[in-house]
Amino acid sequence: MSDPAALFATAVARHRAGRPAEAAPLYEQVLAVAPDHADSLHHLGLISLDRGEAARAVALLERAAALLPANPLVHHRHALALRALRRSDDALAAFRRALALDPRLAETQHQLGNLLKALGRYPEALAVLRLAASLAPDRAAVWLNLGVAALETEARAEALAAFKHAVALEPDRPESRNILGHTLAAAARGTEARAEFLAALQLRPGYAPALNNLGRLARASGLLPEAVAHFRAALAAAPSAETHSNLLLALNYLPDFPPAEVFAEHRRWAERYADPLAPASPPPAAGPAATSARLRIGYLSPDFNHHAVAYFIEPVLAAHDRTRFEVFCYANVKAPDRFTARLQQHAEHWRDLARLDDEAAAALIRADRLDLLVDLAGHTAHHRLPVLARRPAPAQATWIGYPNTTGLSAIDFRFTDAVSDPPGTTEHLYAEKLVRLPGPFSCYRPDDDAPAVGPLPATARGFVTFGCFNHLAKLTPAVLALWAELLRELPSSRLLLKSRGLGDPAVSDRLRATFAAAGIAAERIRCHGEELSVADHLSLYHEVDIALDPFPYNGTTTTCEALWMGVPVVALAGEVHAARVGVSLLTHTGLADWIAATPADYGRIALGAARDLPRLAALRAGLREQLRRSPLCAAHEFTRGLEDVYVGLVRPPAAPLA
């Protein structure tokens, strides 16, 4: 058979019958006779694309598109092939050529939106995916992708509605159930979220993403043993760096998990996900101090936005001596905000890593020829530890964002202080070398929206209110038992708890039931789970007389906020960094008498303060100024000390001449 038309008809028939392997040679025969047979180029390009032969598909479909410029489907498939080759700009242009010919092509709108989403261009993706959903309202996949784009742009209500629509269309799809549950959990609707995760597991037993999300939900609800069990089950089903990091974070909250085993688990993470990424030859180390060039310092974080880390890195960025240091910020920020814009003003060089994979991010950092790269996330959400594992800088450190080791052999140093990590006590629990800063391990910048300190509420109310605004995961059974004892000893007192997880009535009811079992009436426990503005959040301290620090995972930002609002904090000294942060903060604020050595001591300090309201009122009136004048808020002095440490690490003094 040599007639091109007959060959083509036979090829199409076999192609439509699901026999592309038989159709492809026939299309080839057509092209051997008629090289510009546009439809054969088109169909053979489609077969090549389905086979994963992206380069050949691009070549064939490019020729087809030139011959059939008015056919939107050819441009659509050409775009898919270009995307497979990671030629994103060309793919975007091809999708748009298709839509210029027919803007009502729902799948083209869908795939264009997906590509924009993959490129991190979420607002554009959201607009396109909204149109795709209006054109294909019965396609669950479109609603799922619309929901993801809405989540990334913080349009949570729209995301929730989109995911619900997807589940209604395909209730038996575990992926839809899981992401709906994730969105409900983010909205503090934990009971509904749990039901969706369990539904996903009913549909697909052992489904690792749902197990991971059940772990995250349990951790956020303060159910730590359950969280750890879910994370381990997820890892058994499908090993994942993200899930393993979630497990590591959860272990920090457990009071009875041996620190040596926590360290070993961190090393297991590194051995599996980081150590194999080490380069054959790391970047050369910096030279001795004789050089006059400025030190090039990089900070890597997903939290250059409204996040606790921002309150501790901004004063350093603002105070850096630009005659001695050149500052780079590597931002893995998914949702930039006004805090991002403010931080960006303090960096000479701002690099956006959110759209880059780990290899590309490491290459970008390596090209900047840093002297020192400082990680600010550890194993918290959206970290980029695999980037550091590739060692893009000759010296690397971790600081601020995580209260434990990263476990990585590629990270050389961990910055701390002599109070949080007393010399000779915790070195064996870190993969990094501990470097103790000359004062506190961090420096705090109070929020500009903080209201004025109010009068002591107990004076007007006639009863003392204890308070804690920490994450629920920190409220371990031992913590709740000690607080219940305080409330029993002071029968008129109240307890105000604020945490996002308390927005779920089931969680707040469970917490009140725990206190009720200890003899504390429900009306004495106030649970606040509403998401508030910074000013309204800090204004809640107007209702608190004494703040209670949890243990063994202390508060950091919450402690600083309480002190800034005039509320003293009782802290219990532990053995590891996470359990000694409160000790460090109070020591450097001049409040050592608020540090307890034992639980009994904790109760004595809290009750003693509660029974001496004049002393408490006087302390409240002057506490903001006391914090302002402390080393914790001395940004200039803190940063000079930090810079001296940097110089000593990366430019050691030249050896004396013999």
* CATH number for the domain that contains residue 412: 3.40.50.11380
Domain CATH code at residue 584: 3.40.50.2000
- Residue at a domain's end among 251, 281, 304: 251
Q: Which of 153, 154, 129 is nearest to 143 (CA)?
A: 129
In a domain, 531, yes or no: yes
CA-based R_g, the chain, Å? 29
Q: Are residues 429 and 490 in the same domain?
A: no
In sequence order, what E strands does 503-614 have? 525-528, 546-548, 569-572, 595-596
Let me know whether 313 and 409 are in one domain: yes
Task: Report DSSP letters for 186-205, one per residue.
Answer: HTT-HHHHHHHHHHHHHHST
Q: Once rounded to an integer, what is the mean pLDDT over residues 276-295? A: 72
Domain match, 541 and 593 both: yes
Q: Please check whether residue 112 lies inside any domain of the structure.
A: no
Query: 3-state class of 571 per DSSP?
Result: strand
Which has more confidence, 383 or 335?
383
| Domain finish residue from 221, 251, 281 | 251
Please give the mean pLDDT across all residues of the chain: 94
Query: Which residues pair with residue 458 across a beta bridge?
Result: none
pLDDT band at 173; cut points 50, 70, 90: very high
Same domain, 346 and 238: no
Asked if residue 163 is part of any domain, the answer here is no
Q: Are 268 and 261 in contact (CB under 8 A)?
A: no
Is 4 within a domain? no
Residues 45 and 57 sit within 8 Å (Cβ to Cβ) = yes
Task: Say whether the peptide bond before residue 552 is cis (omega within 30 degrees of 0).
Answer: yes
Q: According to the model, what pLDDT value does residue 2 have?
A: 65
Which residue is associated with the tokens 């309480």?
Answer: 562
565 and 423: one domain?
A: no
Domain tally for the chain? 3
Same domain assignment for residues 323 and 197: no
Q: pTM higher than 0.85 for the full model?
A: yes
* Amino acid at position 567, single letter: V
Q: Is the pLDDT confidence value at 360 over 70?
A: yes
* Rounded Cα gap, residues 421 and 533, in angstroms: 34
In a domain, 364, yes or no: yes
The C-alpha atoms of residue 236 and residue 219 are separated, in whole angstroms, by 19
| Pair (465, 402) in one structural domain | no
- CB distance 201 to 211 below 8 Å: yes
In a domain, 215, yes or no: yes
Tell me the residue ranges of DSSP E strands in 114-206: none
| Co-location of 321 and 389 in the same domain | yes
* Residue 154 pLDDT class (50, 70, 90 cuts): confident
Q: What is the pLDDT of residues 64-94, one digit of tens each?
A: 999 999 999 999 999 999 999 999 999 999 9
- Render pLDDT for 246-257 as a digit per residue (tens, 0 to 9): 999 999 999 999
Q: How confident is the model at residue 282 (pLDDT cuts 50, 70, 90)?
A: confident
Same domain, 241 and 339: no
pLDDT of residue 292: 55
Are residues 464 and 432 part of one domain?
A: no
466: helix, strand or coil: strand
Q: How far apart are CA 344 and CA 210, in angstroms?
A: 36
> The domain containing residue 239 runs over which residues?
172-251
How many angstroms separate the CA atoms of 222 and 328, rounded? 37
Given 251, 278, 301, the domain boundary residue is 251
Model pLDDT for residues 344-353, shown as the tens digit of each residue: 999 999 999 9
The reply to whether 359 and 407 lie within a common domain is yes
Q: Is residue 486 part of a domain?
A: yes
Residue with tokens 């900070």: 299
Does residue 348 share a domain with residue 235?
A: no
The DSSP-derived string for 365-377 is HHHTT-SEEEES-
Q: Is residue 450 part of a domain?
A: no
Cα dist from 204 to 207, 309, 340, 368, whole Å: 6, 38, 40, 46
